[in-house]
């Protein structure tokens, strides 16, 4: 089960059976086959997680540190469960009690985690680029669990896996991502992932929440949600952060909902079998109506959570292979 099975081998370049990177700090720059490799690896964990006995000893003896400098519930839980199901010793470092508060530099914190001989460090941080900074200082694989407005690569991967599971292939799909594109690391990772895999990606946001350089990302920008929805296979809604709701970026939550909320009526503009996705936690009644969020057969929101654990298991497994004496990053 460790190496990709032969039926998948034609997706990867000759001689490249192993994932070639030590860290997963972002999806930008990954080759299509590298992303597919991680999705393929996750498949086995989707199946394991649906069984009663879902624990392997594969990472037994390894120490994984979840260093969360920014509060998180679901992502931390997902990584913790992923590490434990693979048999690793998982320890969580909570930001609120962190030495960082005592004036320690981020690099010193990183050096400390490194000196405890972690075999993988999972980091969430409020600053874009902080994860890369840490990765450059430590001796073990580093996984980005979300850094500022930069990337949230496992979210991008789990979304891609959710789509692939439903649609078979990602290439050629029309996918719209709607919400606060400007500040969203989820949007950024999804854009990199989905365009790399050949999807036709549209992004939709109010003018104040659209990046100025958006076209450089090879996506088509829209301000009119109805136009953006037309003929899409997948509708990904983003969470509207509380701090954007207070008049600085949008007039009011009510106005936002009117223009950019996903209602049943609006969803009808997408393809009849269009998937509805949301990274959670949802603001029901703001960016997404409850009738849509709960729409059987169309809403894949809880499926995304399920895929999240599998993707994180795949990433932890793949990136720690070298430490376990298996073929891994060079």
Shortest gap between Cβ of 138 and its own copies (angstroms)? 11
Shortest gap between Cβ of 107 and its own copies (angstroms)? 10
Of residues 102 and 296, the one with the C-beta less far from its own copies: 102
DSSP 319: H
- What would the x/- binding string for its own copies be over residues 187 to 226, using CB under 8 A? ----------------------------------------
DSSP 321: T
Question: Cβ(304)–Cβ(8) under 8 Å?
Answer: no
Give the Cα separation of 52 and 50 in Å (integer). Answer: 7
Of residues 250 through 309, those in contact with its own copies by CB under 8 A are 280-284, 301-306, 308-309
Is position 52 an interface residue for its own copies (rule: CB under 8 A)?
yes
Give the Cα separation of 319 and 224 in Å (integer). Answer: 41
SS3 20: coil
Angle at 19 between CA 16 and CA 21, to 5 degrees: 125
Give the Cα separation of 109 and 98 in Å (integer). Answer: 9
Give the Cα separation of 241 and 273 in Å (integer). Answer: 28
102 is in an annotated binding site: yes
Question: Cβ(314)–Cβ(161) under 8 Å?
Answer: no
Structure tokens at 87: 């048999």
Which range of residues in 1-9, 75-83, 223-231, 269-277 is near its own copies by CB under 8 A?
75-83
58 is in an annotated binding site: no
304 is in an annotated binding site: no
Is position 80 an interface residue for its own copies (rule: CB under 8 A)?
yes
- Of 13, 15, 103, 168, the residue at the interface with its own copies (CB under 8 A) is 103
Shortest gap between Cβ of 206 and its own copies (angstroms)? 20
Is position 7 an interface residue for its own copies (rule: CB under 8 A)?
no
280 is in an annotated binding site: yes
- Of 1, 16, 50, 215, the residue at the interface with its own copies (CB under 8 A) is 50
Which range of residues in 5-13, 25-33, 97-105, 214-222 is near its own copies by CB under 8 A?
97-105
Residue given tokens 């292939």 in the structure block = 169
Shortest gap between Cβ of 178 and its own copies (angstroms)? 18
Is position 81 an interface residue for its own copies (rule: CB under 8 A)?
yes
Is position 74 an interface residue for its own copies (rule: CB under 8 A)?
yes
- What would the x/- binding string for its own copies be over residues 134 to 173, using CB under 8 A? ----------------------------------------
- Of 6, 7, 97, 248, the residue at the interface with its own copies (CB under 8 A) is 97
Q: Report cis status (omega within 30 of 0) of the bond before 281.
A: yes
Task: For the chain, report the end-to-end CA distance as a whole number of angstroms.
Answer: 21
Of residues 30 and 133, the one with the C-beta less far from its own copies: 133
In 149-170, which positions are buried (b, 16+ CB within 10 angstroms) versus exposed (e)? Answer: bbbbbbbbbbbbbbbbbebeeb
Question: What are the DSSP calls for 74-127, one per residue?
Answer: HHHHHHHHHHHHTT-EEEEEEGGG-GGGGT--HHHHHHHHHHTT-SEEEEEESS
Tell me how crowded residue 281 is: count the other CB atoms within 10 A of its CB. 9
Q: Which residues bind its own copies (CB under 8 A)?
A: 49-50, 52-55, 60-63, 65, 71-74, 76-78, 80-81, 84-85, 89, 91, 93-94, 96-99, 102-105, 108-109, 111-117, 119, 239, 242, 280-284, 301-306, 308-309, 323-325
Binding residue ranges: 74-75, 102, 124, 152, 155, 185, 239, 280-281
Binding residue ranges for L-aspartate: 102, 185, 239
């Amino acid at each position: 089960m460790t190496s990709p099975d032969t039926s998948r081998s034609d997706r990867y370049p000759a001689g490249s059976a192993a994932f070639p990177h030590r860290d997963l700090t972002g999806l930008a720059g990954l080759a299509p086959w590298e992303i597919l490799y991680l999705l393929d690896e996750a498949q086995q964990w989707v199946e394991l997680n649906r069984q009663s006995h879902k624990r392997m000893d594969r990472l037994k003896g390894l120490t994984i540190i979840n260093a969360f400098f920014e509060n998180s519930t679901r992502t931390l839980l997902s990584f913790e469960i992923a590490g434990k199901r693979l048999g690793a010793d998982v320890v969580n470092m909570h930001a609120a009690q962190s030495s960082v508060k005592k004036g320690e530099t981020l690099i010193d914190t990183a050096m400390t985690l490194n000196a405890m001989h972690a075999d993988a460090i999972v980091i969430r941080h409020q600053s874009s680029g902080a994860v890369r900074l840490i990765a450059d200082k430590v001796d073990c694989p580093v996984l980005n669990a979300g850094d500022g407005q930069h990337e949230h690569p496992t979210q991008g991967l789990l979304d891609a896996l959710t789509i692939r599971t439903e649609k078979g292939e990602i290439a050629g799909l029309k996918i719209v991502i709607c919400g606060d594109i400007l500040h969203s690391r989820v949007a950024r990772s999804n854009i990199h992932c989905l365009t790399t895999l050949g999807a036709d990606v549209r992004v939709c946001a109010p003018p104040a929440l659209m990046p100025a350089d958006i076209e450089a990302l090879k996506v088509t920008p829209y301000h009119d949600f109805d136009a953006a929805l037309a003929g899409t296979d997948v509708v990904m809604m983003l969470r509207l952060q509380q701090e954007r709701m207070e008049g600085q970026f949008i007039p009011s939550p009510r106005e936002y909902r009117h223009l950019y909320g996903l209602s049943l009526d609006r969803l009808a503009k997408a393809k009849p079998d269009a998937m509805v996705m949301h990274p959670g936690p949802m603001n029901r009644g703001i960016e997404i109506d409850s009738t849509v969020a709960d729409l059987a057969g169309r809403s894949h929101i809880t499926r995304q959570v399920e895929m999240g654990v599998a993707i994180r298991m795949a990433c932890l497994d793949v990136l720690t292979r070298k430490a376990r004496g298996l073929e891994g990053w060079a």
